[in-house]
Amino acid sequence: MSSAILELDVCCGRASSELGQKIAEELHKPLCNLEIKNFSDGEIWVKFGSNIRGTDLFIVQSTNPPAENLMELLIAIDAAKRASARRITAVIPYFGYARQDRKDQPRVSITAKLCANLITEAGADRVITMDLHAPQIQGFFDIPMDHIYSSIVFTKLLREINIENLVLSSTDVGGVKMARAYAHRLGAEFVIINKKRERANSSEVMNVIGNVDGKNVCVVDDLIDTGGSFVNAVTALKEKGAEKIYGACTHAVLSGNAHEKIENSFLEKLYVTDTIPLKQKNSKIEVVSVAKVIAEAISRTNQYKSISSLFDVDKDKI
């Protein structure tokens, strides 16, 4: 492929319509006309309403359930390929089906790999995504992948809020690296929560490793689904003497009665991004947009510039 800079086009699927519009505004470009509808039986139909031949096309679509969101992305990629787009990048703010990333039980699927294969076979040349549930999923793709992080947005937000006596915490030992990274950037301490999971979508907090007595805590995580793990972590911290407890989560899946759990929890405020649209309003949830970060990643990809420099949050490039 030639290194000449191609004309940039951005479109979005229905799962990311609001975020897609914000990204287009950051890029100072109108969204490419992408017509999507369903037949009477639910079958998805996609058509590009304008010429995309020879363009550098970025399709913004999260693949959170229902599965139609993933199918819509695949059909849009296929349509773009058949319309002769020069390069197709799937911009997936939230990469769904990522939690099944290994065979932790006999006779189960590795859906993260399956989805990576589907996106590649559909015709994508590149993928941009944010805060994968497991970083090793990058290796599931046989095409280039750029993994960007919401921490650049949350770190800036937490600095502006300027919470005194701040301690960072993860919801379990798997999130220690994330909590430690936030703590390092903010010059704060961090604690660890040891959690025992009895079954999928159910958890029990066992122990808080570290001192939170009389301190304000921010719990960071990549996603909240049922809210059980997150709220249990908040409860455990409160029982250990934490004062005000905040949360910062990239992907607000929030299924079942998650909103009710958060509303009734000890949380002061939960900050989430707009990688997934909120299904309902919640007095304790505040949305911060990652459109600017994703738009910058798109612009730099189009211009063959480095994206890794976006991760240097101390320079406030975004």
Please say if 315 is a catalytic residue.
no
Which residue type is seen at 311? F
Judge contact between 226 and 246, C-beta under 8 A: no
Between the alpha carbon of residue 274 and those of residues 76, 107, 159, 265, 277, the distances in Å are: 21, 35, 20, 22, 6
63 backbone dihedrals φ, ψ, rounded to 5° = -115, 30
Residue in the structure block whose two tokens are 């005000």: 244
Q: At what angle do helices 291-302 and 151-161 cross, to 10 degrees?
A: 140
CA distance 246 to 172: 16
Tokens describing residue 109: 């699927």
DSSP line for 271-309? EEETTS--SS--TTEEEE--HHHHHHHHHHHHTT--SGG
Instruction: Report which of 277, 254, 276 is spatially closest to residue 92, judged by C-alpha positions.
Output: 276
Catalytic position from the list 29, 47, 156, 195: 195
CA distance 10 to 32: 6
Tokens describing residue 207: 């122990």
SS3 11: strand
Burial 277-312 (b: 16+ CB within 10 A, else e): eeeeebeebebebbbbbbbbbbbbbbeeeebeebee
CA distance 124 to 80: 9
Tokens describing residue 133: 């549930």
Q: Is the dihedral of CA 34, 57, 123, 82 positive or negative?
A: positive
> What is the set of active-site residues?
195
